[in-house]
C-alpha cells in the first residue's frame, strides 16, 4: 500500500517537478560570438543571484562573476531575481565614421537580453549582452517603473573574476587623474607596488591599495590577452576596478560625489557598457572596434565642418619653462574686469606675444600645417592655479601684448587656422556660465577648435574630475560646442569611452600621461608602447609627439628633464598612436636643425582608409600600417619599448604594384639616453612581396612613408 501511494504521488507531482527543473534550466542562457570562439554564459545562481562568465576557444576568461547594485535606501539589486524573459538577436552592418583608423567599421554581434524581476521588491532590471568576435559588452537597463523611479546607487557590484594571477599593465585608481606611468606586474604584486606607482600630480585622489583604472590590460599564463574597459560613459560616474588580490576578482568601483553617493538615476535609464576584449593575439586587442560599436551613431546632422588636422603650438616652450603663460609679476592677484594690465609692468617672459606667435605662424604656414594653438593669450594666468578661485578666466580678453585681431588676420593670410585655448583651472561653474560667450567669441574670430583644460582640484571644492556630475559637464561642453560648429580637444577630462562616434567634434582628449611629462622628469621608454592597449582603447589621444630635442636644459637651464625616446620613436607615434589631431610639439628652431627627419611629420596623414596591426606586445612594441584616406599613400610606425629588437614586417598590405618607401630608422648606435638623435634615412623600392627587417633601439622606433613608384 505504501509503495502504491508513493507511486501515485510521484505520478501526480512529476509534471510539477519537471516544470520546476525546466524553470531552473531556463535561467541559464548563453550566446556565442559570430566566429564561434567567444561564449557568454548568464545564469541565475542559487538565491536568484545574476552571474555571467566568458570563455574563449575553450579557455576561461571570466569565471562566474556577480552583478548588480547596492542602493542608498538600504536595498540591493543583487539577488532574489527571477527570469521574466530572455531573447536573442544578431546584427551585422557597417557604418562610416567621420574620421578615424578606418573609413568603414563593421558591427557584427549577437545579443542576449535578459529581463529580470526581483521577486521581493517587484523591481525590474534588464541586462543586455553583446558578443563580438574577440569582445563582450554588457550594460544594465532599468525600464520606467513605479517601484524604481528615482534611486541612488551607492555601489555597482559588477565583478570580473580572473582565472589566475595574471600579468597586468596598470595605473593607480584615482578620482582625478590618469597621468601616471604604467607598472607591469602580477595581480598579486599590485598592493606592494601601489605606493611607489603614485607620483605627483596637481590633482589626485587615490582610493584603494589595489584599485586600478581602465582600460586595464592583462595577460594570462595560458596566453590570453584581456582588456577591461567601459563604453558610452554618459550620465554615470567613471568606473575603476578594485582588486581582491586573494581571489583575483575585480569589482567595479565608481567615482563618488563628495557625500559618497555614486550615481543619481531616474528610470527609464541605463549604465555604460562594461567591456572585455580577449584574444590569443595581442594585435586583435588593437584592432577591436567594440568601444565605438557600443556607442550611439553620430547625432550631428552636418559634420562637414569637422576637419582632422596637424598643428603646432606656442606651448612646449612654456611646458619646458623657456617662457611663461603669465604676463606680469606686479600684481599679487587678479580681479577680472578690474585689474588694468596696461598699468602693470610685463616680466618679459610671456610666450604668447604677437611677435612670437607670428613667428610660429610663419613656420607652420611654410611647412604645410593646418593650425596653430596658442596658450597664455588671455588674462588671468598670474594667479590661475591652486587658489580655489571661481572667476579665474573670462576666455575673451587678451593680454596687452597679444593682438588678437591682428593675429587672426595674419593667420588667415597665411592659411593657418588658430586653435583657441580654454584653461578652466577646474572652475566648472565659471566655464559653464561663460561658455556661450566664449564660443561665440571664437566663431567671430575664426577659431574652429578649442583645447580645453581642467588642471587642479575641481571647484566647487570636494568634487572630483570623474564623478557623474563632471562626466556630464564634459559632454555638455562637447554638445554646446557642436551648436557653434566647434571641435573640442579636452585635457584632464575623463578618459574617452568611444563618444567620439556619437559626437565626432570631440576630436581629441588627453586624459593620460602625455608627452608634457618628458619635461617633468621623463616617462618610461615603453610608455607609448602600452598606451595603444590602454588609454587609446577608448579613443584618440592628443599626445603631442614630435619632440626632437631630448635635453630640456637647452631650453631651460633650470630644468634637467630628459625626453626618454629616440628621435625616430617620436616619428613613429604619428602612425602607431592614431589621432585626427596631431601636433608637432617642439620648437621651430629645433625642427630647423633636423629638416630631413621633420619631412616625415610634414608628409604623414592624420585620417585613414584602413589600418593593419603588424606587430604588438604590450609595453614592448607596436607596429601599425595605415592607408591615407582617399590617397594612394601608406605609412608605417614602429614604436619600441625599453629593449632593442629587430622588427620584421611584411608589406603585403600594399595592393599589387611597385612603390618607393622612405624609411626613417634608428642609427646603429642610437639609444634613448646615450644617443637619441642618431638616425638614418634611406629610400628603397618595395612591393607587396617585400619583407623588411629593421633594428630598433632602446626607446626607439621607425617610420616609413610609401607611395607608388
pLDDT less than 70: residues of the chain: 1-26
Beta-bridge partners for 616:
622
Sequence-separated (6 or more) residues with CB below 8 Å from residue 284: 134, 225, 277
Pairing of strands 581-583, 309-314: parallel
Cβ–Cβ < 8 Å for 195, 235:
no
Looking at residue 360, what is its pLDDT?
A: 98
How many Cα neighbours within 13 Å face the side chain of 709?
Answer: 14
Question: Phi-psi category of 511—alpha, beta or left, where left has phi over 0 and alpha has psi -120 to 50?
Answer: left
Would you call 102 a catalytic residue per the annotation? Answer: no
Name the one residue in this structure whose C-alpha cell is 576630436: 507
Which parts of 9-134 are beta strand (E)? Answer: 29-32, 38-45, 49-56, 59-66, 69-71, 76-77, 81-95, 105-118, 123-132
Inter-helix orientation angle 567-576/595-603, to 10°: 0
234 and 471 Cβ atoms separated by less than 8 Å: yes
For residue 26, the model assigns a pLDDT of 60
pLDDT confidence of residue 14: 40
Q: What are phi and psi of 250, to 5 degrees?
A: -90, 140
- Active-site position among 516, 549, 615, 620: 516
User: What per-residue string of b and e applies to 439-459 under the rule 16 or more CB within 10 Å gives b?
Assistant: bebbeeeebbbbbbbbbbbbb
Cα(217)–Cα(418) distance, integer angstroms: 37
* Angle (CA) 583 493 308, round 5°: 35
* CA distance linking residue 663 with residue 638, whole number of Å: 11
361, 416 Cβ separation under 8 angstroms: yes
pLDDT at 23: 43
Confirm if 213 and 174 have CB atoms less than 8 A apart.
Answer: yes
Amino acid at each position: 500500500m505504501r509503495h502504491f501511494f508513493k507511486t501515485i504521488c510521484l505520478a501526480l507531482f512529476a509534471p510539477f517537478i519537471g516544470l520546476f527543473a525546466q524553470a531552473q534550466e531556463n535561467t541559464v542562457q548563453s550566446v556565442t560570438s559570430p566566429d564561434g570562439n567567444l561564449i557568454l554564459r548568464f545564469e541565475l545562481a542559487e538565491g536568484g543571484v545574476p552571474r555571467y562568465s566568458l570563455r574563449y576557444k575553450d579557455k576561461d576568461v571570466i569565471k562566474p562573476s556577480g552583478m548588480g547594485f547596492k542602493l542608498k535606501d538600504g536595498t540591493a539589486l543583487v539577488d532574489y531575481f527571477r527570469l521574466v524573459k530572455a531573447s536573442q538577436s544578431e546584427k551585422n552592418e557597417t557604418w562610416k565614421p567621420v574620421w578615424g583608423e578606418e573609413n568603414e567599421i563593421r558591427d557584427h554581434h549577437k545579443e542576449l537580453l535578459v529581463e529580470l524581476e526581483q521577486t521581493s521588491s517587484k523591481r525590474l532590471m534588464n541586462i543586455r549582452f553583446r558578443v563580438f568576435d574577440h569582445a563582450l559588452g554588457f550594460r544594465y537597463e532599468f525600464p520606467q517603473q513605479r517601484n524604481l523611479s528615482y534611486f541612488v546607487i551607492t555601489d555597482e557590484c559588477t565583478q570580473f573574476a580572473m582565472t589566475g594571477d595574471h600579468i597586468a599593465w596598470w595605473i593607480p585608481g584615482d578620482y582625478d587623474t590618469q597621468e601616471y606611468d604604467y607598472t607591469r606586474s602580477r595581480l598579486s604584486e599590485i598592493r606592494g607596488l601601489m605606493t611607489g606607482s603614485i607620483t605627483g600630480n596637481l590633482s589626485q585622489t587615490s582610493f584603494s591599495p589595489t584599485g586600478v583604472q581602465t582600460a586595464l590590460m592583462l595577460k594570462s599564463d595560458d596566453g590570453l590577452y584581456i582588456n577591461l574597459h567601459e563604453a558610452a560613459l554618459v550620465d554615470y560616474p567613471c568606473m575603476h576596478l578594485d582588486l581582491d588580490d586573494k581571489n583575483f576578482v575585480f569589482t567595479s568601483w565608481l567615482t563618488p560625489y563628495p557625500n559618497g553617493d555614486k550615481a543619481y538615476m531616474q528610470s527609464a535609464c541605463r549604465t555604460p557598457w562594461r567591456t572585455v576584449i580577449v584574444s590569443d593575439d595581442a594585435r586583435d586587442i588593437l584592432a577591436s572596434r567594440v568601444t565605438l560599436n557600443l556607442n550611439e551613431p553620430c547625432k550631428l546632422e552636418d559634420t562637414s565642418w569637422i576637419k582632422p588636422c596637424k598643428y603646432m603650438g606656442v606651448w612646449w616652450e612654456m611646458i619646458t619653462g623657456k617662457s611663461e603663460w603669465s604676463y606680469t609679476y606686479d600684481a599679487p592677484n587678479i580681479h577680472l574686469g578690474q585689474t588694468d594690465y596696461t598699468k602693470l609692468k610685463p616680466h618679459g617672459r610671456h610666450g604668447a606675444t604677437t611677435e612670437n606667435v607670428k613667428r610660429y605662424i610663419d613656420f607652420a604656414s611654410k611647412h604645410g600645417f593646418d593650425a596653430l594653438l596658442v596658450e597664455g593669450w588671455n588674462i588671468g594666468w598670474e594667479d590661475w592655479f591652486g587658489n580655489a578661485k571661481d572667476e579665474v578666466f573670462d576666455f575673451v580678453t587678451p593680454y596687452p601684448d597679444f593682438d588678437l585681431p591682428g593675429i587672426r588676420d595674419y593667420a588667415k593670410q597665411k592659411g593657418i587656422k588658430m586653435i583657441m585655448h580654454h584653461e578652466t583651472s577646474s572652475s566648472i561653474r565659471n566655464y559653464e556660465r561663460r561658455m556661450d560667450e566664449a564660443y561665440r567669441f571664437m566663431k567671430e574670430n575664426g577659431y574652429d577648435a578649442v583645447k580645453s583644460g581642467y588642471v587642479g582640484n575641481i571647484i566647487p571644492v570636494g568634487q572630483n574630475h570623474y564623478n557623474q556630475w563632471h562626466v556630464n559637464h564634459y559632454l555638455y561642453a562637447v554638445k554646446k560646442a557642436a551648436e557653434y560648429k566647434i571641435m573640442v580637444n579636452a585635457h584632464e577630462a575623463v578618459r574617452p569611452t568611444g563618444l567620439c562616434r556619437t559626437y565626432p567634434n570631440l576630436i581629441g582628449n588627453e586624459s593620460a600621461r602625455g608627452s608634457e611629462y618628458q619635461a617633468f622628469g621623463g616617462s618610461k621608454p615603453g610608455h607609448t608602447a602600452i598606451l595603444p592597449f590602454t588609454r587609446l582603447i577608448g579613443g584618440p589621444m592628443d599626445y603631442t609627439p614630435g619632440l626632437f630635442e631630448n635635453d630640456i636644459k637647452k631650453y631651460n637651464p633650470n630644468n634637467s628633464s630628459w625626453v626618454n625616446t629616440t628621435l625616430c620613436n617620436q616619428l613613429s607615434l604619428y602612425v602607431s598612436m592614431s589621432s585626427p589631431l596631431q601636433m608637432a610639439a617642439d620648437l621651430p628652431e629645433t625642427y630647423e636643425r633636423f629638416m630631413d627627419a621633420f619631412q616625415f611629420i610634414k608628409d604623414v596623414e592624420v585620417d585613414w582608409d584602413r589600418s593593419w596591426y603588424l606587430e604588438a606586445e604590450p609595453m614592448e612594441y607596436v607596429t601599425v600600417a595605415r592607408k591615407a584616406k582617399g590617397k594612394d599613400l601608406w605609412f608605417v610606425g614602429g614604436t619600441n619599448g625599453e629593449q632593442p629588437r629587430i622588427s620584421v614586417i611584411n608589406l603585403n598590405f600594399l595592393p599589387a604594384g611597385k612603390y618607393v618607401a622612405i624609411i626613417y630608422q634608428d642609427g646603429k648606435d642610437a639609444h634613448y639616453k646615450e644617443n637619441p638623435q642618431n638616425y638614418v634615412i634611406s629610400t628603397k623600392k618595395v612591393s607587396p612581396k617585400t619583407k623588411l627587417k629593421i633594428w630598433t633601439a632602446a626607446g626607439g622606433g621607425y617610420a616609413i612613408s610609401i607611395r607608388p613608384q
